[in-house]
Every structure is written in C-alpha cells, then in structure tokens.
Amino acid sequence: MKARHSEPMIPQPFRVAKVQKETFDTFTLQLKSSKGNGVSHFSPGQFNMLYVFGVGEVPISISGDPSNGTLIHTTRVVGNVTKAMGKLKVGDVIGVRGPFGTPWPVENAKGKDVVIVTGGIGLAPLRPALYYFLKHRDEYGKIVLLYGARSKEDILYRRELEQWRARFDLEVHVTVDRGTGNWRGNVGVVTMLIPKAPFDAHNAVSLVCGPEIMMRFTVLELLKRGIPESKIFLSLERNMKCGIGHCGHCQFGPHFTCKDGPVFPYDQIKDLLEKREI
Amino acid sequence: MNSNLNANKDLHIVRREDLPQLFNILIKDGHQIVGPTLRDGAIVLDVLEGVAELPLGWTDEQDKARYRLVKRKDEALFGYSCGPQTWKKFLFPPDHILFKADKTRHGWRIDAGENAPPKFAFLGMRACDIHALTELDKVFIAGEYQDSAYLERRENIFIISINCSVVGNNCFCTSMGSGPGAASGYDLALTEIIDGDLHYYLIEVGSEKGEEVLGEIKHRTASQEEIRKGNELLTAAAQAISLKVDTEKLPKILKKSVEHPRWKEIASRCLTCGNCTMVCPTCFCSTVQDYTDLRGSQASRLRKWDSCFNIEYSYIHGGSVRYSSEARYRQWMMHKFASWIDQFGSFGCVGCGRCITWCPAGIDVTEELRFFCQNPLLDTTAKSA
C-alpha cells in the first residue's frame, strides 16, 4: 500500500538559518526545521512548496546536498512571493511542504556518462544531482556540466563552479550570452557547447534544466550527438498550487507536472513539447 | 448505461404521503438533508427541512444557453432534470479555509482545525451526479495524497438517488454510460411514479444502511406491474435522449487534433467565462488565496474553485502558458475527453449537459466533439521533412 499523507496542504514551520545573495536577482536560503526534526529525506530533482506568511506559496526546487541534513533553496526574484522571500532574515520562519515530484534518475545513470545541460537558475535543481554524482564519483563514467548564463554577473554558484572546474574528474564548461567586461570564456548559447563535449553518446544519460526554449534546442543537439530520447531527462516548470495533483494547475497534457514530473524522460513528453500552449 | 431496474433485487414501494417519514428518520439520525429546491428561478441544491421544500409540480426546460422553470400538470417532486448546481459544492466547498496562522514571539502558530462538517444526506442525486462523485473520489482520495476535507465530508453521506424519468434537452448520459438510472453508488434509489391518482416511489436498496432506513419507513414489496411501470419510465427516458457522442475513438481523435483549426473557430464564440467549469460536476481545479491583517500578524489561506479558462490559471513567471482562448478551451475539452482517461482511467464527463445549458454563448460540447470525430485532422508529416 502506498504511503498516505494526512495533511499535505499544511506547511511545516522552518527557520531561516542562513541567507546568501548569489547574483543580483537570486539568493539561497538555508532552512532548519523549527520543530528540530530535521528535513525529510529528498531525492535530487524534487521540490518543496515554500510559504511566506500571509503572502503566498511557490514551488522551489531543492538545491542542497541530499546527504546533508540542511534544506537549501536557491530562488530567483520573479514575483510577489519570491520578492518577500528575498527579504527574509536569519531567524525568520518560512513554511515548507514537500518534498514533491519525481527525481533525476541518478541511480539508473550509474555506469554511464552523465551530461548535465543547464541554463540560468536551472542549475539550482541540478546541484543536488551533481553533489550525488561527486559523492559516488567512481560509479559513473565521464561527468560533463554545460552551463549557460546571460552574463558573467548572472553566473550562479560561481565559486563552486570554479572549484568543480578545477577537478580532474569533472568537465565543466560555462558560456554567457553577453561577453561583458573582462569575460574571457565562451560566448553564445549553451547548446553550442554540446557538439564538442566529451561523452560517449551511446552510453550516456543527459539531465537538462533551463528555460523551455533552451531545453528544446538542447534536446535537438543531444539527439544529433546520438543520445537516445529515453536517456534525456528534462525538468519542467508549470503553475503549481498544491504539489499533490489536486489543484489541476500544472497539467501538461495527461501529466500532472507536480507528481508525474517535474523530471520527465524526453520520449514521454516530446509530442507535447512540440506543440504551443499545452 | 442503466435503463432497467435491477431485476435481482427486491423492489419496494413507498407512497408519496409516507415520504416525510424519510426526512424524519434521516434528521433523527443526525443527517443534514440536502436536495433540490426552488430559488431565484432555478432548481438549486440546499439544506431541506421537509418535503414541502422540494420543487413540487415544477419542471425545467433546457436548451443551449437556456433554462426556464415551467409548471407541471401533476404534483411530481422530482419531475425535472439537473439544475445549475452540483453536489460537489458540499464536499469540495467553493471557499475553504486551509489554515489560519498567528504570528507569535516564537514564530507562528498554525491552526488547521475545522469544525466537524455535517453528516450529509443527499436526496435527489441523479445517476450522472453519482458518477461524478466517483470521479471526484479518484481525484481527492484514491491517490497517494488525500484531501482530508473532502474525505471527512464524503465518508458519511447517505445517498438517495432519483432515477431520471424526465430528461433535459442537453442530457447525454447514455453516451457517457452514466444514466439515466443509477446502477450503484446509492443507499436508496427512487423512481417516482405518478399513475392517475396513484403517486408512489419504487425503491431499490443499495446498501445495508439503506435497508435500515427503509425499514423505518412504511413500505411494501413492489408488484410486477409496478416494476414494469418503473422500467417503462426508464426506458422511455433513455430513448428520449437525443444528444449523442460516439466515445469509442474520442480520446485518440482528440489527441491527434491538438492543432485542429476548429479550436480557433470555437474560441471565436467562447467567452472564456468559465461557467462550464463552475457547473461541471467533475471539474475539480482550485487555487489558493492568502490574506493577512494590516499588521501582518495574522494570516489565512483559502482554497477556492478555479477554472482552466482563467488566464492566471497557467501563469508562470514571464506569462501564461495558455494565453489564447483556443488553448484554454482545448485544455478543458481535452482534459474531460482524453487526458482524464490517462489520469484516472475514465472520461471526466458524465453527460449531465450542464455546460451546454449554462454556456452563455450556447456552445454545445457534443456538437464540437462530433465535429472532431467527423473532421479528423489528417496526419501531417510534411513539417518534419
């Protein structure tokens, strides 16, 4: 019998333990349960519904280390709730419901090369997967991270990216849309990095998260390299009010993005992705 | 489809003048009786105290975008088809407080407590509405997560269904396999029979609880003649339904019709008002609204009915996913007749026809479905060449 959840719509109070500004419009919150019962276990790729007292609730992917007891969320300020969330200080209380949704296939990727392609804030839901891969580094083939940001000021987790790039067991390539100031790296869209990325397409799994248009073009490049459709995984974004498949908002064709997704294998959704306004 | 009374069950007769006993026993048993009553020129659903509040001697005339009450020549209590309201409003209230929260020195205190809901007795549910309830059960209680508010209300309902002897012009339950008679899901099923001076109810028992309640009411075993009369009414009702939809290939045809030009044509008539979703007995979408006092020390979170026709419904930062009205109409129709099957294993439509009656533009969903069936989009592989 499936596990039953009695009050899935009631947020649990968590306290802000640390606030970190990432870029001009993104920030990371470290949360600790007010009740001292830690965080419930989550899998890389899952999300929580975060509730700001009296303002509202939004789905935010979990971006911390799954093996670590702290709950970490990186958020971009795009609306009322995320704006209010950005004003929270250490010690403030925030409501948490979750974790919800399908995870990245980190177990099934064992023994294979892993190609992560992300754009903008899309790196946040992939960071837990990356932590997982690095913790179990020997169980995977090549690990490639391709990341695109608008400009060098928009690069998320910059210090960590630099550390990862310095490792011999990880291939990290970053590109920006606008090469401003003293940027000396790649300029252009992230899909440009795919043709030359070092991985064995016939034994690789690709994890993709970014704006939908970026994901569509990324898939085209990955397919050109020869990765099968069933080995490409995308994390989708839709309006969500409940996270448990009851409110209807996140429907994407027959799928409830909150519980059947957000991570989907490409072959399951490709027909829908090609259509407008699904 | 059920247009015959269950021959394997004992059928009973309760005379019209003994019907108040049903009210008495249910009220004595602690039930709040909800049923049809006349208000604002329509037959709506509300709490009833007695038989006198039922729409005695009234019927309705329904057509596309039309609903009128008309006097009947007899004193039937259930001689009409479905009205603008559905039973979901009692199980899945249009406004529901999820929780209230108070700011305290130590954070906040969340109060998710709710007064115990009434123990409902639904009197006069139609077969289509019982089917709708089983669909809502799939959404709210069959999955991994349960909606406790729905479950709490749903668990204790006593259902007295009415087999339809009067059908509306917009009914198409026979196509959706849900009526006009109820096959299951009730405690007691009534067929109202008026035969000259005789006015009685042919009763099928659907549960132990139903049997107990019937035991408290003056009744007798039905005669073969009375059963024949009941069957005649149901058969005539099924035959009177003229709206038809061929459901067999419908999901497949619709899934191939995502880019059909017909959506744009429908959208030129659709006002995206969402009436169809409000009157639909299976539409379950909801949104949440947050409230605070001016000092920001108290907050509450309400769940409210929402509609896929609202442009905010699909909003994510940057804009709404379904910004055009054709995409929103398509979402509604595809959900009812195609993706609901993937999600819950059945159609999301029970053929009650409310969406046809209450669409201010008179869009007839069956007409549109027939159009897609008769004008399927040809497979176009040209664009990938």
With contact defined as beta carbons under 8 Å apart, do A272 and B338 qualify?
Answer: no
The whole-angstrom distance between A245's CA and the closest CA on chain B is 8
Bond preceding residue A262 cis, omega within 30 of 0: yes
Selecting from A8, A56, A277 the residue whose C-beta is nearest the C-beta of B324 gives: A277
pLDDT for residue B114? 74
A2–chain B Cβ distance below 8 A for any pair: yes
CB-CB neighbors (< 8 A) of A249 in chain B: 285, 287, 306, 313-314
pLDDT for residue A70? 85
CB-CB neighbors (< 8 A) of B97 in chain A: none
pLDDT for residue B278? 97
Quickly state the pLDDT bin for A3 (edges 50, 70, 90): very low
Contact at CB, B146 and A54, closer than 8 angstroms: no
Please report, for chain B, the start and end positions of each structural domain, with discontinuous segments joined by +.
Answer: 11-240, 250-374
Give backbone dihedrals phi and psi of B122, rounded to 5 degrees, phi first: -95, 115
pLDDT for residue B116? 86
Question: Is the pTM here over 0.90, yes or no?
Answer: yes
pLDDT for residue A181? 87
Rounded to 5°, angle at Cα A123 from A122 and A126: 100
Distance in angstroms (rounded) separating the CA atoms of residues B231 and B222: 13
Distance in angstroms (rounded) separating the CA atoms of residues A164 and A245: 37
- DSSP 8-state class, residue A133: H
Contact at CB, B285 and A15, closer than 8 angstroms: no
pLDDT for residue B296? 85
A273–chain B Cβ distance below 8 A for any pair: no
Distance in angstroms (rounded) separating the CA atoms of residues A250 and A257: 5
Alpha-carbon torsion (B344, B140, B184, B234), positive or negative: negative
Distance in angstroms (rounded) separating the CA atoms of residues A149 and A129: 19
Interface test with B, best of A246, A247, A260, A268 (most B CBs within 10 A): A246
Distance in angstroms (rounded) separating the CA atoms of residues A221 and B274: 41
A228–chain B Cβ distance below 8 A for any pair: no
Contact at CB, B147 and A246, closer than 8 angstroms: yes
Average pLDDT, chain A: 94
Stretch (H or E) spanning A268 = helix A266-273
Q: Which of B172, B219, B180, B228 is nearest to B200 (CA)?
A: B219
Quickly state the pLDDT bin for A41 (edges 50, 70, 90): confident
pLDDT for residue A4? 46
From the first residue on, what is the mean pLDDT of each consecutive set of 10 residues in chain B (385 residues)? 66 97 97 97 97 97 97 96 96 95 88 86 97 97 93 95 95 95 94 95 96 97 95 95 94 95 97 97 97 91 97 93 97 98 97 98 97 84 43
Query: What does A93-115 look like in DSSP terms, one character per residue?
Result: EEEEEEEESBPP-TTTTTTSEEE
With contact defined as beta carbons under 8 Å apart, do B57 and B10 qualify?
Answer: no
pLDDT for residue B66? 97
ipTM above 0.95, yes or no: no
Count CB atoms within 10 A of the CB of residue B132: 25
pLDDT for residue B383? 44
The whole-angstrom distance between A257's CA and the closest CA on chain B is 12
pLDDT for residue B170? 97
pLDDT at A141 exceeding the cut of 50: yes
Interface test with A, best of B139, B316, B330, B332 (most A CBs within 10 A): B316
Residue B71 half-sphere exposure, CB side, CA atoms within 13 Å?
1
Q: Which two tokens stand for residue B68?
A: 């009128």
The model's pLDDT over A59-86, given as tens digits with 9 standing for 90+, comes to: 999 999 999 878 999 999 999 999 999 9
Contact at CB, A248 and B284, closer than 8 angstroms: yes
- Rounded to an integer, the average pLDDT of A113-134 is 98
Lowest mean pLDDT among A152-166, A187-201, B110-124: B110-124
pLDDT at A5 exceeding the cut of 70: no
**A-B interface: how many C-beta pairs under 8 angstroms?**
124
Contact at CB, B315 and A239, closer than 8 angstroms: yes
Count CB atoms within 10 A of the CB of residue B220: 11
CB-CB neighbors (< 8 A) of B303 in chain A: 9
pLDDT at A213 exceeding the cut of 90: yes
Domains of chain A plus CATH, in order, are: 12-100 (2.40.30.10), 113-235 (3.40.50.80)
